Every structure is written in structure tokens, then in C-alpha cells.
Structure 1
Amino acid sequence: MSWIKQISYQQATGALKRIYDKIKGPDGYIDNILTVHSLRPHTLTGHMSLYKNVLHHSNNSFSNWFLEALGTYVSFLNECQYCYLHHFEGMKRFLNDNDKASQIKNAIENNTLESLFTEKELAAFNYSKKLTLDVINITKNDITILKDIGYDDGEILEINQVVSYFNYANRTVLGLGVNTEGDILGLSPKNKDDENSWSHS
């Protein structure tokens, strides 16, 4: 759960219940990272809107598994076990290839990403690492590197937003002591065409 009070789906009323009804998965299930917002439902709305649009929107250029891989990597760098476990499972579901998912997990944990990813993909991971661990030293040159290797401005924005979202999510989790107790790992919104469709499955 977490270090602060959380209101469950069964206990929720009013605006919170309406938001929960949009999010809930099987049997009223809602991730702990979301119920931790329950004392301020408007922040839950903000979190879900950002999450859905950054990771699960049909106008994104990148495949879901790659965006989840970037998020898994950022979560590993931040030592956020909660998001690391959740989004590794999400990546694995989108990949639909357990062997490749295991290889990616091993590469992340052993700092051997170059063994699996192309030079272009590695550039995205390198930018993700610098934005996460060394943000004060980010310069225009870091964007130039991404452009020179073939990313356009929109793709760079997508990478930036995924990395920024996961840093936000990691700090929410780590700062409030959110854990995976009772969570179902790897669920996510499936309707990519409706940005207001938040239901998890």
C-alpha cells in the first residue's frame, strides 16, 4: 500500500468513485500508484491523463513495448522497484515475446543495452539516462545527437515525455512508500484511440 491513507474502490464516494469507475480493472481493481492520489482526486485525474497520453495514445510514433522499455529503464535507474516490476510486465505483454523481454531485463540490470538495441535505440536510452541522473548537464547538443541519428522533433518530444513521466511516477511512489501489495502487475489502458478511456485490463 503506502505510508499515507488510501481510499479503496469499495470505500470511495462522489468524484473519487466516478474517477475510479473510469480506471478500474477486474473486480474493481486499481493500482496502488493510483489509489495513493485518493485524498486529492484532482491529482489522480492529472496523473491518469498524463500517463494515458504519454504511453497509450494512438498518435504516438513509438510502439508501446519500446515506450515501456524506456520507462522500465528509468525506473531501474531510479531504484523504483514498484514501477520497474509493473512496467517490465507491461513491456512483456506488449512484446508478446517472453524470451526477448527477459533479455531486455537482463540487459537493463547488467548495463549491456548495446547487446540488444540498435545504435538509434541506444541513443534514446542514453538520453533517458542523462535526463534522469544528470539533468543539470542536459544541453542542446543532447537533442542534436538524437536528431543526427534519425529522430525527428516529435519523436524526441515523445521520448522526453515518457522519461519525464516516469521520473514523476517514480518519485510519487518512492516519496510516499507505495508498494505492490495487492497489485496486479502489468495492466494498462487498451483503447488507444480514446484519451478518456482509462479502464485497465
Structure 2
Amino acid sequence: MAYIEMIDEDDAQGPLLEMYSRLTSPHGGVDNILKIHSLNVPSLAAHMKLYKTLMYGRSGISRARREMIAVTVSVLNNCHY
């Protein structure tokens, strides 16, 4: 498995800490798929902007259909996100 250095929530400071505070999931932490951007906060912001655009932006694809596509792709990739 590949290793990517990440900054945990307890060690986050400044803009990263602010971003983490907005991204805490219902289970109480920040998902690793987001923490991989922790060394480059602008890339984390870009990731979230892309995600929100794809999932919530104006589209001819319904929100429910987008969610079904995301789940299907995750299952096919054996990804729990």
C-alpha cells in the first residue's frame, strides 16, 4: 500500500485546522481521503470545490442519480468512501 504523509487533526494549525473544523465527519474525524491534502491546503480546498460542484452543482443529472453513480464507482473500486 502506498504511504502519503498526513497531518492529523490534533497536529493541525492555522488554515489547515480551520479547514479540518469544517470537514469533520459524523463519526468525529476527517476522512483520510481529505487528509492526504493536509500538506497542501489549497489542494484540499480545490478537492472540496470539485466535490461540491459535482455533487451539488447545477446538472441534468439528479442529486440521487449522482449519489448512485458515486456509490457504484466506489464499490467497483473496492473503496469504502
Flag whether TM exceeds 0.5 (same fold). Answer: yes
Matched with 1:93 is: none
Matched with 1:32 is: 32
Amino acid corresponding to residue 36 of structure 1 in structure 2: I
Distance 1:64 1:8 in 2: 31
| Structure 1 spans left out of the alignment, 5+ residues | 87-201
Distance 1:47 1:16 in 2: 14
Q: Secondary structure at the match of 1:81?
A: coil
Distance 1:29 1:64 in 2: 25
Amino acid corresponding to residue 8 of structure 1 in structure 2: D
Q: Scaled by the length of structure 2, what TM-score is found?
A: 0.78
Question: CA 1:40–1:21 in structure 2 vs 1: closer, same or farther (change >3 Å)?
Answer: same
Question: CA 1:27–1:70 in structure 2 vs 1: closer, same or farther (change >3 Å)?
Answer: closer
Matched with 1:68 is: 67
| Structure 2 spans left out of the alignment, 5+ residues | none
Q: Is structure 2 residue 46 aligned with structure 1 residue 10?
A: no
Q: Of Structure 1 and Structure 2, which has the larger fraction of its residues in helix?
A: 1
What percentage of aligned pairs have identical amino acids?
32
Q: CA deviation at 1:70?
A: 1.8
Q: Scaled by the length of structure 1, what TM-score is found?
A: 0.35
Is the CA contact 1:55–1:67 (under 8 Å) kept in the aligned structure 2? yes
Amino acid corresponding to residue 66 of structure 2 in structure 1: L
Q: Secondary structure at the match of 2:4?
A: coil
Of the two, which has the highest radius of gyration? 1
Map of 1:117-128 to 2, 5 A cutoff? Answer: none
Is the CA contact 1:9–1:17 (under 8 Å) kept in the aligned structure 2? yes
Q: CA deviation at 1:42?
A: 0.9
Distance 2:72 2:18 in 1: 33
Q: Is structure 2 residue 47 aligned with structure 1 residue 47?
A: yes
1:82-138 Cα offsets, whole Å, 9 max, x none, are 2xx33xxxxxxxxxxxxxxxxxxxxxxxxxxxxxxxxxxxxxxxxxxxxxxxxxxxx
- Could you list the structure 1 runs, at least 4 aligned residues long, displaced by more than 2 angstroms after superposition: 25-28, 59-65, 71-75
